[in-house]
Structure 1
Amino acid sequence: MSTEAGAGLPAGFHLLGQSASTAAAPVDALFTAMVVLCGSVALAVCVLITAFCVRYRQGSTAERSRPKRSLTWLEVAWTLTPLLIFVGIYAWAARDYLRLYRPPAEALPVAVVAKQWMWKLQHRNGRREINELHVPLGQPVLLRMSSQDAIHSFYVPAFRLKQDVLPGRITALWFTATQLGEFRLFCAEYCGSEHSHMIGRIVVMRPDDFSRWLAEGPAQPSLAQYGFALFRQLGCSGCHAAGSTVHAPLLDGLPGRAVHLQDGRTVVADDNYLRDSILLPRKDVAAGFEPLMPSFAGQVSEEDIQALIAWLHATNGDKP
Structure 2
Amino acid sequence: MPAYPATRMRRLRQAGWTRRLVRQHVLTPDDLVWAVIISDQDAPEPVAAMPGVNRLTLDTLRDAAIEARDLGIPAMALFPHIDPARKDAAGSEALNPDGLIPQAIKVIKAAAPEIGVICDVALDPFTTHGHDGVMKGGVILNDATVDALVEQALVQARAGCDVIAPSDMMDGRIGAIRMALEENGFTDTLILSYAAKYASGFYGPYREAIGSAAALTGDKKTYQMDPANSDECLREVELDLEEGADMVMVKPGLPYLDIVKSVSETFGVPTLAFQVSGEYAMIEAAAANGWIDGERVMLESLLAFKRAGASGVVTYFAPRAARLLNQG
Point out which structure has higher relative CO (alpha carbons under 8 A, 6+ apart). Answer: 2
The TM-score range, normalised by the shorter chain, is under 0.3
Normalising by the residue count of structure 1, what TM-score does the alignment of the two structures yield?
0.24
Q: Which has the larger radius of gyration?
A: 1
Normalising by the residue count of structure 2, what TM-score does the alignment of the two structures yield?
0.24
Decide which structure has greater helix share. 2
